[in-house]
C-alpha cells in the first residue's frame, strides 16, 4: 500500500533578523515567549541567527543583511491561556495589541525586538465570548 501524498504539517516558520541581534532575539523568544533555543546544524550556525521551539512549534530566525521587517506578513501562533500569556509578554516590556476581528477567537499582535509581527490566538469555547480586550 502506498502512503498518501500531500502536506502533513508546517515544519517551521522562518523569520529574518539583522546581523548581530541574536542576544535580543534570545531574550524575546526564550525569556518573554518561553520557547527553548534549539541548536542549529554547524554548517547553518555559521550563518548566524537562532532557532527556537515550543512543543511542535519551531521558529527559525535567520540573518538577512538588508533586513526590513514585513508590515503585514506574520506567523499565527496558537496559545492557551491567552490573557495570562499577554500579561507575561507585557511583564517583559512587550507591547500587546488586541484585535477582536476574528470570529471565534481571542487574539493579539506583538512585535519582536527587530520588528517582526507575530499573531497570538486562542479559539473561544463554543457559545462564549470574552469581554476582555
Residue 113: inside a domain = yes
Residue 106: inside a domain = yes
pLDDT at position 4 is: 86
Write phi, then psi, for 37 (nearest 5 degrees).
-70, 135
Cα first-last separation, the chain: 51
Helices and strands (H, E) in the chain, number of each type: 3, 8
Residue 130: inside a domain = no
pLDDT at position 132 is: 52
Strand partners, 18: none
Q: Identify the domain containing residue 25 by its residue range.
A: 13-65+73-123
Q: What is the pLDDT along the chain (133 residues), one digit of tens a residue?
A: 788 899 888 999 999 999 999 999 999 999 999 999 999 999 999 999 999 999 999 999 999 999 999 999 999 999 999 999 999 999 999 999 999 999 999 999 999 999 999 999 999 986 555 545 5
Residue 108: inside a domain = yes
Strand partners, 38: 51
pLDDT at position 40 is: 96
Q: Which residues contact residue 70 at a Cβ distance below 8 angstroms, ignoring those fewer than 6 apart?
A: 116, 117
The DSSP code for 91 is H
pLDDT at position 128 is: 55
Residue 34: inside a domain = yes
pLDDT at position 3 is: 80
CATH number of the domain at 30, please. Answer: 3.10.180.10
Residue 5: inside a domain = no
Structural domain total, the chain: 1
pLDDT at position 125 is: 83
Residue 85: inside a domain = yes
In whole angstroms, give the CA distance from residue 117 to residue 105: 18
In whole angstroms, give the CA distance from residue 8 to residue 11: 9
Residue 7: inside a domain = no
> pTM of this prediction?
0.89
Amino acid at each position: 500500500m502506498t502512503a498518501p501524498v500531500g502536506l502533513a504539517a508546517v515544519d517551521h516558520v522562518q523569520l529574518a533578523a539583522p546581523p548581530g541581534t541574536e542576544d535580543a532575539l534570545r531574550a524575546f523568544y526564550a525569556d518573554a515567549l518561553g520557547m527553548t533555543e534549539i541548536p542549529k546544524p554547524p554548517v547553518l550556525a555559521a550563518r548566524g541567527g537562532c532557532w527556537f521551539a515550543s512543543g511542535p512549534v519551531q521558529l527559525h530566525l535567520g540573518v538577512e543583511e538588508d533586513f526590513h521587517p514585513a508590515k503585514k506578513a506574520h506567523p499565527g501562533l496558537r496559545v492557551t491561556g491567552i490573557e495570562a500569556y499577554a500579561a507575561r509578554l507585557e511583564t517583559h516590556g512587550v507591547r500587546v495589541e488586541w484585535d477582536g476581528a476574528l470570529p471565534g477567537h481571542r487574539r493579539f499582535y506583538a512585535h519582536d525586538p527587530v520588528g517582526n509581527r507575530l499573531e497570538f490566538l486562542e479559539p473561544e469555547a463554543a457559545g462564549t465570548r470574552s469581554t476582555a480586550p
